[in-house]
Structure 1
Amino acid sequence: MKNYRLVLLFIAAVLIAWVAIIIASGAGWNPIGIRWDFSNTGAFGDSFGPLSATMAAAAAVSALLAWNIQRNEVLRLRSNDEQAKNDLEINRDDQTFFNLLRMFQDVVAATDIQRSDGPDKRGQDSFAFILDRVSARLEHGREQAYTVIFNKYINDLGHYFRILYNIIAFIDRSRLPDKYFYVKVVRSLLSNAEIALIGLNCIYGEGLTKFKPLVEKYALLKNLSPSLIEKYQFKSHFAAGAFVRTD
């Protein structure tokens, strides 16, 4: 826009100067060698030849600048539309995330282990109870201990792992600008026992192929207690990224 104004000012200055020369020629001062009188109309008409050429050039330049301004405006509007679309998709992903998070919390709260030898376990206490059962069988080996207990509580654990995996996978493929922030929100809701069971699922269960890479990418084991890390030898099975963000 600034360049367009400068060109218009230049064209106006040329026109003013040309008219001034013609008027001066008619008054007796003849810098271009043509007298301005009606007895020499041919010469007078010839004096407008350069002016016509200048006007044609000015019209061409003005048309080019007008096209360029219109093009830039179209690009700006298109860019604004794309930004608005991107913002809409981010807001939609944000809402979807929190809907999934509420669903996950409902799953945890609804987890119920009924016992004949003691009080029932509900919510996060259920996962602490399950991990205790794994721990009680470690003399048979970690893999065997986890597999037996997982199969015993497969309805609760299977549902839990599926929805948690889908939340982290959704974050990973979403348009959310700070994906690690959303993973931290999820991680803040996990108990120590839940994190340990996630780790065991990624080593010995169905999480090995798809869930484990996401655990390592987003440091999902970061808040796990050192004692459980040592007890289940997690550091020998996971990359450093599972415990601390490395990017």
Structure 2
Amino acid sequence: MKETRRSGIGWGLLISLLIVLGFGSLTLFYIIPFIFIQTDWIPLGDLKSFFFKSEGAINNNDQSNSEIIGTLGTVGDWFGGTTLPVLTFLSYIGVMIAIIMQRQELGLQRKELQETRDVFIIQRFENTFFNMITLNNDIITNIKIDIGKISNKSSHSPSSGRDSFSDLYTELLSTFSGKGKDRKEVLEEIINSYELFFSAYQDSIGHYFRNLYRITKFIHENEALSMDQKQNYIGILRAQLSTYELLLIFYNALSDYGSEKFLPLIKKYNLFDNINNTLLINQKLDWELYKNFEETKINLLKNEFEDSLILALYNSTAKGQISGAINKISELGSVPKDKKINCLNDISDMIKVLIESDCVLSDYQIKLLNSILIYIENYGKELGLKDDKSKKFLHKLKLQ
């Protein structure tokens, strides 16, 4: 509105200035004949005689009258010849101003339509977002769990609603030995312990975690939102979560169930901004593991897949450096023939899964992965074998 008002004031001043110049020019042209008269181009007495004397007097002075008429004719020709171009020029300026004002008005209308469209998109997004929040709250309300499947500490009545999360966290704690001395050992224990915990309670809480992931992904994939807006909606989501919900989400994200898709979004939007890390199972190492998850996961996998090229691809992809995989592929010439089959199938499977998965990849990364895949198919199209090591690795990453 302020921009429109300032623009209107500017155009008003310009139009007023042109009107003043136009009237000033016309007034000047009307005054010029009197200037001629005052400078004796036409004697003032002769002019009075021409207009005010009787017909007889005028006829007695025909020569003087002819001179007056001739002079006035010259002035009239000058006046007509100069006034018409000025009026034409002013008309042209007026048309140009009208066109420019119309273009500006159309630009403002387009801007208003875009703003209206953006508001409509945001409203539609918020309707879906808050419906998903409502659904999440309904899921929590309907949770009813018989606690004690792991700890064997059964209660007299099922745990329900948000209160069930503190009981579930107690169950998760009972699966940990707490003997991990570094991040790699802690991660290995989290993966194994959470697997035991989730297999016991996935029927009751599996849909809860899936819905949370869908809400986070829904925010992330909305291109109409700025980063600040996405952070704001993540903050609204975070405000709905209790202390023990955040703790369970924390370990879900570090496990094989959430580390591939959910954890990157959690870290990107800082979902654990206000988590009470004093309640973590291993306060210091667990938080360090969260901060350095990719590096720790790679170190853990190296123990089992030391010479696997697919590990190199996972490593480079996790760091956003897929080009490292190309360098490894260039070394295939020195790999024994019996191992080339495994290497080609490892890399091929990994790339296919990455392209078809929900991993957040740029257009450049997708093109690069497709190029690597074509190279592999051309290089070993006659070697269409599958090996257990490749399948085991993909199963380990939960990508198959």
Band the TM-score falls in, shorter-chain normalisation: 0.7 to 0.9
1:51 correspondence with 2:107:
no
**Residues 184, 46 of structure 1: alpha-carbon distance in 2 compared, 3 angstrom cutoff:** closer
Look up the match of 1:169.
217
**Residues 34, 201 of structure 1: alpha-carbon distance in 2 compared, 3 angstrom cutoff:** farther
Residue correspondence of structure 1 range 39-188 to structure 2 within 5 A: 39-40=70-71, 42-43=73-74, 44-114=76-146, 117-118=154-155, 119-139=157-177, 141-174=189-222, 175-176=224-225, 178-188=229-239
**Residues 230, 120 of structure 1: alpha-carbon distance in 2 compared, 3 angstrom cutoff:** closer
Look up the match of 1:204.
255
In structure 1, what residue type is equivalent to 2:38? W
Distance between the aligned counterparts of 1:111 and 1:52, measured in 2?
Answer: 88
- Indicate conservation of the 8 Å contact 1:112/1:122, yes or no: yes
In structure 1, what residue type is equivalent to 2:102? Q
Gaps of 5+ in 2: 1-10, 48-67, 149-153, 179-188, 293-400
Look up the match of 2:287.
235
Look up the match of 1:29.
38
In structure 2, what residue type is equivalent to 1:85? R
**Residues 34, 81 of structure 1: alpha-carbon distance in 2 compared, 3 angstrom cutoff:** farther
> Identity of aligned pairs, percent?
24
**Residues 21, 230 of structure 1: alpha-carbon distance in 2 compared, 3 angstrom cutoff:** farther
- Indicate conservation of the 8 Å contact 2:143/2:160, yes or no: yes
Any idea what the Cα deviations from partners look like across 1:74-115, whole Å, max 9, x if unmatched?
111111111111122222222222111110000111111135
Look up the match of 2:241.
190
Structure number with bigger Rg: 2
* Partner-residue secondary structure (3-state), 1:220: coil
Of the three residues 224, 231, 235, the one matched with 2:275 is 224
In structure 2, what residue type is equivalent to 1:145? S
Structure 2 length as normaliser, TM-score? Answer: 0.54
- Indicate conservation of the 8 Å contact 2:29/2:79, yes or no: no
* Partner-residue secondary structure (3-state), 1:238: helix
Q: How many aligned residue pairs are there?
A: 237
Look up the match of 1:13.
24
RMSD of aligned residue pairs (Cα, Å): 2.6
Structure 1 length as normaliser, TM-score? Answer: 0.84
Distance between the aligned counterparts of 2:171 and 2:242, measured in 1?
Answer: 16
- Indicate conservation of the 8 Å contact 2:147/2:167, yes or no: no
Any idea what the Cα deviations from partners look like across 1:190-247, whole Å, max 9, x if unmatched?
222211221111111332122112211232223322333352633122239xxxxxxx
- Indicate conservation of the 8 Å contact 2:173/2:281, yes or no: no
Any idea what the Cα deviations from partners look like across 1:141-174, whole Å, max 9, x if unmatched?
3221111111121123321111111112222334
In structure 1, what residue type is equivalent to 2:99? W
Cα shift at 1:47: 3.1
Structure 1 stretch 170-179 or stretch 98-107: which is displaced more?
170-179
Structure 1 stretch 119-128 or stretch 166-175: which is displaced more?
166-175
Distance between the aligned counterparts of 1:41 and 1:224, measured in 2?
Answer: 97
Q: Which has the higher contact order (CA 8 A, sep 6+)?
A: 1
- Indicate conservation of the 8 Å contact 1:192/1:224, yes or no: yes
* Partner-residue secondary structure (3-state), 1:139: coil
Look up the match of 1:243.
none
- Indicate conservation of the 8 Å contact 1:112/1:120, yes or no: yes
* Partner-residue secondary structure (3-state), 1:66: helix
